[in-house]
Amino acid sequence: MEPKLPIAAITDEFSPDLAVALEPMAEIGMSGAELRVVFGKNIMDLTKEELCRAKDLLDAKGMKVVSIASPLLKCVLPNGPEVDTRFQQDVFASKHTYEDQPRLADHAFEVAEFFGAKIIRVFSYWRTVEPERCFDAIASALQDLAEKAASHDLIIGLENEHACHIGSAAESAKMLAAVPHPNLKLVWDPANAFVGGENPFPYGYSLLPVDRVVHVHAKDCHMEGHKPIWGPLGTRHVDWKGQIAALLKDGYRGYLSLETHWPGPGGDKFRASVICGWNLRGLAAA
């Protein structure tokens, strides 16, 4: 059966070698790609020649670049409270600081336009022990990014990330209400909300303004204490069948994008992503 929603993947979940990643993605029936780590480097750090090489590989497979999975606002907010050390901070080959953000944003717009991507994924600074004290600074940064994105006809996609200040659906809804700019939307990640202690579906999803969900990340886990144990998509504690059915009912027509995280059988991450990719296709077709 054909998926009822288009499916994609963050390419480095299969392999940091883009050519290797695109083969199984195409076989699974994915039509979209998110770019995060390409040729072993963060997408923000690729040379012009490497960007051209990546585009040639994507074009050869007829693969649309859905999102630039940038590390924008995935850094420490200066003069903020102490960082919450309970959560693992995944940087994915990026070590950009707060001072780098203006340059990084400008470059992200350039990279998105080069690939024809409409979404630039961003975050909300590493989570501190007093998230409420950082709310206004985050809202200001997102407002600024949304205004700049509007001039490029692009969307800033705020991902709810448990290691950052906006981790749950409740926090996402509050921030979206505070920044009602049409060029700021949500990259909804139910598993991230789950890791942060929220029931993402049906409770969390019910809090969201569905017209501002622009993209959805798919992965699955269960918890052991504060630690997520990642596993095959659709077999753990996120109700993906219910979530996808609700998205369809609410008129969502964006991508479901695989972000495997599961280390895989015997530590074979490539195999893990192939398994999860086919699981995603099945869930999207149900």
pLDDT tens string 215-252: 999 999 999 998 999 999 999 999 999 999 999 999 99
pLDDT at 88: 73
pLDDT tens string 55-107: 999 999 999 999 999 999 999 999 999 998 887 776 555 578 899 999 999 99
* Burial call 262-282: b when 16+ CB within 10 Å, e when fewer: bebeeeebebbbbbbbbbbbe
pLDDT at 11: 98
DSSP state of 37: E
Contact between 17 and 37 under an 8 Å Cβ cutoff? The reply is no
**284 band by pLDDT with thresholds 50, 70 and 90:** very high
| Distance in angstroms (rounded) separating the CA atoms of residues 203 and 209 | 13
Q: Is the pLDDT of residue 206 over 70?
A: yes
| Distance in angstroms (rounded) separating the CA atoms of residues 150 and 260 | 31
Q: Is the pLDDT of residue 181 over 90?
A: yes
Dihedral sign computed on CA atoms, order 185, 138, 122, 275: negative
pLDDT at 150: 98
DSSP state of 230: E
| Distance in angstroms (rounded) separating the CA atoms of residues 85 and 169 | 21
Rounded to 10 degrees, the C-alpha dihedral 112/115/118/122 comes to -40
CB-based contacts of 106: which residues, under 8 Å, 6+ apart? none
**191 band by pLDDT with thresholds 50, 70 and 90:** very high
pLDDT tens string 111-161: 999 999 999 999 999 999 999 999 999 999 999 999 999 999 999 999 999
| Distance in angstroms (rounded) separating the CA atoms of residues 258 and 151 | 29
Question: Most distant CA pair in the chain: distance in Å?
Answer: 53
Query: Residue 152: what are its φ and ψ, rounded to 5°?
Result: -105, 0
- The neighbouring-strand residues paired with 222 are 229
Give the chain's end-to-end CA distance (angstroms, integer).
Answer: 8
pLDDT at 94: 56
Query: Residue 189: what are its φ and ψ, rounded to 5°?
Result: -125, 95
- Residue whose structure tokens are 């495997």: 260
Domains of the chain: 7-285 (3.20.20.150)
Contact between 216 and 262 under an 8 Å Cβ cutoff? The reply is no
Q: Report the chain's mean pLDDT, rounded to a whole number.
A: 96
SS3 166: coil
For residue 262, how far is the Cα from the chain centroid? 16
Give the CA distances from residue 236 to residues 147, 168, 214, 223, in Å, rounded to whole numbers and listed in that order.
39, 19, 24, 10
Both tokens assigned to 68:
């630039």
